[in-house]
């Protein structure tokens, strides 16, 4: 289990997720993957703003995983 967690963490740390499109209900990455938001966004968010949020979320998840 510990090795699996390390592999997941390493994959997350080395992979970049580039946002190319975002709207109130979903966002799209450079590779064509489209993901729905967990909740509807209240305001229009630019791609740049959403990219910052996604990067911060990724960093937070990695930090939580490192603590375990």
| Contact of 29 with 20, CB cutoff 8 Å | yes
pTM: 0.81
- For range 53-67, the mean pLDDT: 90
Q: What is the pLDDT of residue 1?
A: 65
| Contact of 16 with 6, CB cutoff 8 Å | no
Q: Which two tokens stand for residue 23?
A: 């709207």
Q: What is the pLDDT of residues 7-22, one digit of tens each?
A: 888 888 888 999 999 9
Q: What is the pLDDT of residue 42?
A: 78
Domain range list for the chain: 2-67
Residue in 41, 44, 17 with CA at minimum distance from that of residue 29: 17
- For range 43-52, the mean pLDDT: 93
Using DSSP's 3-state secondary structure scheme, residue 29 falls into strand
Q: What is the pLDDT of residue 60?
A: 93
Q: What is the pLDDT of residue 4?
A: 84
């Amino acid at each position: 289990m510990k090795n699996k967690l390390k592999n997941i963490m390493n994959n997350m740390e080395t992979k970049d997720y580039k946002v190319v499109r975002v709207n109130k209900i979903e966002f799209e990455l450079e590779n064509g993957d489209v993901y729905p938001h967990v909740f509807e966004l209240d305001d229009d968010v630019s791609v740049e703003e959403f990219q910052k949020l996604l990067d911060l979320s990724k960093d937070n998840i990695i930090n939580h995983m490192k603590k375990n």
